[in-house]
Structure 1
Amino acid sequence: MIELTPTQRRAFRAQAHHLHPVVSVAGNGLTPAVLKEIDNALQSHELIKIRVYGEDRAQREQILTTVCSELGAASVQHIGKTLIVWREKAQPETNATGTPAERPKRAAAKAKSAKLLSARRGISSLNKAADKKPRWFPAPPKPSRGSDR
């Protein structure tokens, strides 16, 4: 379990103020599936709110300590039925050269599919008419407010 300084805790509380709960713990309690969802949410967002439906405050405290100890997270705040938890994102995996491992780029796949689609339609990838005219037009000059009053 990570310990936070009061300054860090205050900053995280301020960041979490506008967040909505991303995981709910209901009648079945803290099941392995719920714990896995909390882990996924922490990997994605670092700072999350968890809503616990239950009247017993001691049970909510137990859920908070279990989440923090099993997932290596820090407890930021427990207010009412809402728990705020933080865990630093894991660094991306690096390959042998020390650079981050590359993931396939969606933009490249979209560009390739757009190129294939335009080729099917008979549109060349370089539109000559679009190359001749600029994409933006400058605004006309504003009249000066001289001393001609």
Structure 2
Amino acid sequence: MKTLTGKQKRFLRSKAHHIKPIFQVGKGGVNENLIIQVKEALEARELIKISILQNCDEDKDEVATSIRKGAKAHLVQLIGSTIVLYKESENQKTIELP
């Protein structure tokens, strides 16, 4: 998996700006079920947002890293309590990176 360039990350951040988070990480933290759902969502959408709730016990950097690794995705941005992830879709590729 190649790392994203700064230009590509800026492009993806601008695309992600209007997206609403589709997952929330709360008290349970990151589990296998969440990782599976994130993988499926990334295959369908390529770019997703995940919000980390106040009651999440884990550190937000750890949450972002474990989801990124589990889903084999790129961490585009971690801003506040929102994670932006990108993974190129195998069957439904819609985003053309610059």
TM over 0.5: yes
Q: Which amino acid aligns with 1:84?
A: V
Give the fraction of aligned pairs with identical amino acids, expressed as a percent.
Answer: 30
Separation in structure 2 between the aligned mates of residue 74 and residue 2 of structure 1, nearest angstrom: 9
Structure 2, unmatched stretches of 5+, are 93-98
Q: What residue in structure 2 maps to residue 54 of structure 1? A: 54
Larger Rg computed on CA atoms: 1
Name the TM-score, length of structure 2 as normaliser: 0.84
| Partner deviation per Cα, 1:103-146 (whole Å, 9 max, x = no partner) | xxxxxxxxxxxxxxxxxxxxxxxxxxxxxxxxxxxxxxxxxxxx
1:8 aligns with 2:8: yes
Name the TM-score, length of structure 1 as normaliser: 0.56
Structure 1, unmatched stretches of 5+, are 93-149
Instruction: Please identify which structure carries the higher strand content.
Output: 2
User: What does 1:95-114 correspond to in 2, within 5 Å?
Assistant: none
Q: Which amino acid aligns with 2:76?
A: V
Size of the alignment, in residue pairs?
Answer: 91
Q: What residue in structure 2 maps to residue 38 of structure 1? A: 38
Higher relative contact order (CA 8 A, sep 6+): 2
Separation in structure 2 between the aligned mates of residue 54 and residue 63 of structure 1, nearest angstrom: 13
| Partner deviation per Cα, 1:50-95 (whole Å, 9 max, x = no partner) | 0111378x71111111111222100000000100000000147xxx
RMSD of the alignment, in Å? 1.9
